[in-house]
């Protein structure tokens, strides 16, 4: 019998580790900055590339930054945020290298924005303005091959955070592998996270120990679809049981949410299987007056793997999180460190 966690408590600390291939990308420095910095030629491309995915209507950021008229009132605040490193948000320690999805600006880009603000934030020639990026409404990777709709959840206007017990049995005719998966809450106003756990579905055949929580996908604020590297994927099975750890928070008015999960099937033969390990502590106590209480957990891997992603997750009391690899030869290596968890 497979045991599922009933809820991830508000004191939970865990990291989601997906293993197969580590992808670290380098950043290419832009060309040398122009003598006269303008919004249309120099600043807009930086914002389009790094900021407007969140700074647009209907997204998480509190203001839109798509045009000069939208950006100009916030110019000094933008300078302050980018020079301090607060924006764009990236919380991993820079000493551990650049990751594929690193959102930090390059030093030249920060300098460009600072010089533009110091020069009075000139608009520039409209003909220099690049085409603004376009964004897809709905499913970010196109229409899924299979859409699973979870039961509707009613979230009260007030009270404590709400953790409904949601489940689903997958209706498939045969075993399939997926190249991508996307989780889409219908109401992000009240949705904190959703974690989709699966039944073993062949896990024992791969030598996974008892008590392993097989995590299929995670959604939280700012999460992108899970798109695996080419040739890699996850197996899903007929009648596979899904258990969803959903976390909602009241927002002052009664709300409803109906989360959907989209599966994108792979074609041909899957070359490498991606596995996700949930390693953490679901319940613990912080001693009174403790200023720096450490909580540890470990996960033993008995075969060679490559790590493609890590999802550090803590709640309000979390301060920092470090993922450390302990090798058989005694070497210790910090793979990723989040020193100031926000």
Q: Is residue 94 part of a domain?
A: yes
Q: Scan for tokens 């596995």, then name that residue.
A: 275
Q: Is residue 251 part of a domain?
A: yes
Q: Is residue 217 part of a domain?
A: yes
Domain end point (choices 246, 266, 283): 283
Q: Is residue 2 part of a domain?
A: no
Domain end point (choices 108, 128, 148): 128
- Domain tally, the chain: 2
Q: Is residue 13 part of a domain?
A: no
- Containing H/E element for 336? strand 332-338
Q: Are residues 143 and 270 in the same domain?
A: yes
Record the tokens describing residue 269, joined without a space: 């033969």
User: Any idea what the CATH number is for the domain that residue 169 is in?
Assistant: 2.60.120
Q: Are residues 149 and 254 in the same domain?
A: yes
Q: Is residue 149 part of a domain?
A: yes
pLDDT given at position 146 = 98
Q: Are residues 79 and 188 in the same domain?
A: no
Helix (H, G, I), strand (E, B) or coil at 82: helix
pLDDT given at position 13 = 46
- Containing H/E element for 70? helix 68-71
Q: How is 2-60 classified by DSSP, letter by letter?
A: ----S---TT-EEEEEEES-------PPPPPPPSS--IIIIIHHHHHHHTTTTSSTTSS
Question: For the segment 9-56, what is each residue's pLDDT rounded down to a tens digit?
Answer: 434 444 555 554 333 344 444 554 457 999 999 999 999 999 999 999
Q: Are residues 279 and 146 in the same domain?
A: yes
Q: Are residues 159 and 237 in the same domain?
A: yes
Q: Is residue 297 part of a domain?
A: no
pLDDT given at position 119 = 97
Residue 167 contacts residue 153 (beta carbons within 8 Å): no
pLDDT given at position 260 = 97
pLDDT given at position 97 = 63
**pTM of the predicted model as reported, rounded to 2 decimal places:** 0.78
Q: Are residues 102 and 224 in the same domain?
A: no
Q: Are residues 144 and 278 in the same domain?
A: yes
Domain end point (choices 128, 146, 163): 128
Q: Is residue 171 part of a domain?
A: yes
Q: How is 207-260 classified by DSSP, letter by letter?
A: TPPTT--EEEEEEETTPPPEEPPTTEEEEE-TT-EEEEEEEE---SS-EEE--E
Q: Are residues 53 and 101 in the same domain?
A: yes
Q: Are residues 194 and 213 in the same domain?
A: yes
Q: Are residues 78 and 117 in the same domain?
A: yes
Residues in the chain, pLDDT under 50: 1-14, 20-29, 32-33, 201-212
Q: Are residues 75 and 163 in the same domain?
A: no
Q: Are residues 111 and 80 in the same domain?
A: yes
Domain residues for 68? 39-128
pLDDT given at position 71 = 98
């Amino acid at each position: 019998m497979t045991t599922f966690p009933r809820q991830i408590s508000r004191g939970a600390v865990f990291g989601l580790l997906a293993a197969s291939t580590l992808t670290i990308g380098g950043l290419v420095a832009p060309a040398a900055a122009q003598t006269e910095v303008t919004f249309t030629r120099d600043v807009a491309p930086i914002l389009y590339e790094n900021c407007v995915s969140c700074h647009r209507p209907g997204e998480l950021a509190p203001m839109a930054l798509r045009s000069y008229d939208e950006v100009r009132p916030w110019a000094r605040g933008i300078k302050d945020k980018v020079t301090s490193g607060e924006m764009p948000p990236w919380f991993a320690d820079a000493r551990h290298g650049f990751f594929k999805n690193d959102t930090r600006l390059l030093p030249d880009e920060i300098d460009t924005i600072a010089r533009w603000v110091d020069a009075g934030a000139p608009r520039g020639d409209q003909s220099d303005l690049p085409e603004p990026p376009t964004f897809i409404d709905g499913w970010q990777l196109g229409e899924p091959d299979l859409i699973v709709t979870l039961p509707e959840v009613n979230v009260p206007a007030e009270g404590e955070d709400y953790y409904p017990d949601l489940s689903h049995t997958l209706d498939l005719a045969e075993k399939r592998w997926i190249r991508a998966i996307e989780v889409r809450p219908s109401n992000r106003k009240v949705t904190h996270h959703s974690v989709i756990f699966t039944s073993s579905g062949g896990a024992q055949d791969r030598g996974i120990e008892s008590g392993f929580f097989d995590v299929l996908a995670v959604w939280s604020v700012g999460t992108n679809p899970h798109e695996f590297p080419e040739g890699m994927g996850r197996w899903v099975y007929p009648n596979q049981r899904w258990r969803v750890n959903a976390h909602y928070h009241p927002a002052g008015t009664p709300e409803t949410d109906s989360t959907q999960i989209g599966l994108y099937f792979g074609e041909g033969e899957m070359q490498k299987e991606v596995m996700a390990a949930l390693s953490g502590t679901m319940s613990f106590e912080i001693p009174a007056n403790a200023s720096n209480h450490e909580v540890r957990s470990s996960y033993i891997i008995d075969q060679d793997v490559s790590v493609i992603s890590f999802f550090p997750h803590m709640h309000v009391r979390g301060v920092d999180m470090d993922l450390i690899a302990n090798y058989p030869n005694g070497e210790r290596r910090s793979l990723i460190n989040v020193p100031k968890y926000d």
